[in-house]
Amino acid sequence: MAEEAEAAPADAERRPSALDKLKKASHLAAVVSTVEKGSSGSAPDSVMVAVRCRPFNQREKDQKEGKIITIREGGYCGIENPSERDAPPREFSFDFTYDDDSEQVTIYRNLGAPLLDKAFQGWNGTIFAYGQTGSGKSFSMTGSQDQPGIIRQMNEEMFDKIATTQAAQPELKFLVTCSFMEIYNEVLYDLLDPTGSRGTSKSKKETNIEIKEHPQLGVYVQGLQEIAVDSHQKIQNLMDQGNEMRAVASTAMNATSSRSHSIFIIKMQQKQVIAGQQKETRATINLVDLAGSERVSKTGATGEKLKEGANINKSLSALGNVINALAEQAKKGKKVFIPYRNSKLTRVLQESLGGNSVTVMLAAISPATYNYEETLNTLQYADRAKAIQLKARKNESMTEVGKLKKEIEELKAMLAASSGGGGGGGGGGVSDAQQAQMQAQIDDYNVMLKQSFEEKERLAQEMEQERLVDRKSTRLNSSH
């Protein structure tokens, strides 16, 4: 009997119970989760805010509009109330301020380049441009062929840095993917889907992407295409394709008014084998071009444009409420309810606003007297954003892909064995609750596995092939 009593523990050690396996799996998941989230040192702890004043446009020159904005070195911005000329200007202080003669390269060097440097180290980054319609947001973010904006300049420098880094470290592998989406009338659309509709002729029925949340990944957009890119020209081609699909229309304030919010997403993954283990560093850069806030009395919008403007203002109002709540939370030093779910825009930007991201806000303003109220509103908006506290983390991990796959197969085998036992309580002494826990663990492991370098590379290549087939089919159909 004593021999049997001694043999039992050894036997159990050779064949772990379902409960033991679950405990081990949960522990491994917790360890992976901790490593995935990384550390929070060496990153800004609040949102960086910059203000850029555009030059007068031709209509403002024709109307002989006065200038109400004063920009000085050191981040100073003053605004005069045209109704109270003798009163002192309202004064604001930001990280950077740019007058109407600022150059695109300066904006990028101050705001875009530092974010790219952080991305190579494994930090997520976001730049979003805010301001009334026609204030120069798209010019700062995208620019033109002759005057490239932040996105174009970042793409070019990114591949130059990759080439330099790989020349010094040949064993380091890079995978860069990009996605492009818009939020039009509170519906998400994939701008890189070749089967989608162009401009404002979109229907909710034709989109299949949606917002999801995962414990390890945070908030993400399920179904959004991620296209592998290996040059800045390829990214530029995809941007051009996406911009052709974007909802744009003419209003009295802006001949090419964006009728949607757009988000261009760059994901960069690095792989290096160290002492038999695979070290992976990941970063996501969100480049956000918000549609401008609108006043119907100025845009002259009617019909569908009126509806678009109402949805734009609604989502920007929700963004303002989130910024106010985050600023209040930082001021009080205690938890405050943040209404992220009130808008698709704020939900998508949840990680960028007070989450795992180094974030920059570029407020675009008009110098003209005519736009005093909108400009003051933008400056106040930007001033509140300065207080938002960030929780950026370095995203690097030592991944054992083989170990994860083995764990998944073992859990699947145990789940299959327990399911075949019959009875409401499951087979092999495994309860229904334990079976559900096993399945949840398998799902979590599969999500982690899909984030691995090899799996991301495979999926991105498959998606690119599907896109090529779809684009060819779309061109053939349109020619008939």
pLDDT bucket at 408, cuts 50 / 70 / 90: confident
Residue type, 396: E
pLDDT tens, 134-188?
899 989 999 988 999 999 999 999 999 999 999 999 889 999 999 999 998 888 9
Please give the Cα distance from 264 to 181 (Å, whole number): 7
pLDDT of residue 6: 41
> In the chain, what are the domain boundaries?
12-38+400-479, 48-394
pLDDT tens, 347-396?
999 988 888 899 999 999 999 999 999 999 999 999 999 999 998 988 88
3 state SS of 178: strand
DSSP-H helix ranges across 78-190: 104-107, 113-121, 137-141, 150-168
pLDDT bucket at 305, cuts 50 / 70 / 90: low
pLDDT tens, 450-478?
666 666 677 676 766 776 666 566 555 55
Nearest-Å Rg of the Cα atoms of the chain is 26
Please give the Cα distance from 46 to 460 (Å, whole number): 33
Closest listed residue to residue 262, CA positions, set 172, 163, 137:
137
pLDDT tens, 53-77?
999 999 999 999 999 999 999 999 9
Which CATH superfamily, name and number, covers 48-394? Kinesin motor domain (3.40.850.10)
Residue type, 68: I
Between residues 454 and 230, the one the model is more confident about: 230
Is residue 343 predicted with pLDDT exceeding 80?
yes
The pair of structure tokens assigned to 467 is 């896109």
pLDDT tens, 200-219?
555 666 788 899 887 767 78
DSSP 467: H
How many CB atoms sit inside 10 A of residue 402's CB?
Answer: 9
Please give the Cα distance from 133 to 136 (Å, whole number): 8
Please give the Cα distance from 141 to 287 (Å, whole number): 8
Average pLDDT of the chain, as a whole number: 80
Using a cut of 0.85, tell me whether the model's pTM lies above it. no
In Å, how far from its chain's centre is CA 465? 24
pLDDT of residue 165: 94
